[in-house]
Structure 1
Amino acid sequence: MGTLAQKITVETTVNAPIAKVWEQFNAPEHITKWCFASDDWHAPFAENDVRTGGKFKTTMAAKDGSFSFDFGGVYSNVIPENLIEYGMEDGRTVQVTFTDNGDSTTVTEIFDAEQTNPAEMQKSGWQAILDNFKKHVEANQEK
């Protein structure tokens, strides 16, 4: 093993109760509506078995069909409405915490940086996806 990966943190506060935030973060029919960083991308496929030992996979693709990739991994620790930890296929780890603030929920993701792209670029990409998630949940309040 080389040096320990740099940890990057992204965070957002969603104006919705924790049960709704948890559900829309994890339900495949919601993941396909928010799990991309910009409007010229989409997530045509998602599967998610959100439990310790469960697996997940989301396909992220450019809408013009020029590029797509699968983002997936295995959950090492899941505490409903509280914590998700998982390992990605490249060995990096991610920790997602959900903080119940009553009528809002703070979602914090801490992930290992990869070596290919600058940390700032990775942070802004993950933050964009998290911001998209916030927008999605807040637009789906009445459901």
Structure 2
Amino acid sequence: MENKQLTVTTTVPVTPKKAWSYYTEAEHVINWNFASEDWHCPKAINDLRVGGDFIITMAAKDGSMTFDMEGTYDKVDSPEHLAYTLTDKRKVAVDFKGGGSETEVTITFDPADKQSDEQQTHGWEGIANNFKAYVTKMEGGK
């Protein structure tokens, strides 16, 4: 079986240190970690250290569906690199690269078996776009 990964990227208008905070702190995560406007993130618990666990709840706003994304951190190199393993054993890495006032955030992940690569990429792109919109709004942009 091939060990392919999928990647999505977004650029946010802040330094890597600020992007890291917006990406990892639970009080921020609940504001952007969902794929579309009909979903939200009612809960995020984050023990940001190697071996630490996280639980992020994503739910449909109409109450029809909810699920927890759970995992354990494998690497925490603030503010440049984050790697974790989801409870279904899929690996995810997040890299923050920037200089000055912009940071490129690249998320590389093992695809799940249940959905097509295209569906999964679309979902993760939605989350990345929400992250960018949230950071931009918090920084006074539109």
- Bucket of the pairwise TM-score, normalised by the shorter protein: over 0.9
Q: Structure 1, residues 45-82: CA drift from partner, whole Å, max 9, x if none?
A: 00111111111110000011110000010001110101
Code of the aligned partner of 2:111: A
| Structure 1: runs of 5 or more not aligned | none
2:118 & 2:4 partners in 1: Cα distance? 11
SS in 1 for 2:95: strand
Corresponding residue of 1:22: 20
| Structure 2: runs of 5 or more not aligned | none
Q: CA deviation at 1:109?
A: 0.6
SS in 2 for 1:76: strand
Asked if 1:40 corresponds to 2:50, the answer is no
Retained in 2: the 8 A contact 1:8–1:111? yes
Asked if 1:114 corresponds to 2:112, the answer is yes
Cα RMSD, aligned residues only: 0.9
Corresponding residue of 1:100: 98
Moved over 3 A (4+): none
Query: Normalising by the residue count of structure 1, what TM-score does the alignment of the two structures yield?
Result: 0.95
How many residues are matched?
A: 140
Q: CA deviation at 1:4?
A: 3.7
Asked if 1:136 corresponds to 2:141, the answer is no
Out of 40-49 and 11-20, give the one that drifted further: 11-20
Q: Structure 1, residues 92-130: CA drift from partner, whole Å, max 9, x if none?
A: 000110002211000001100111110011001001101
Percentage of matched positions with identical amino acids: 41
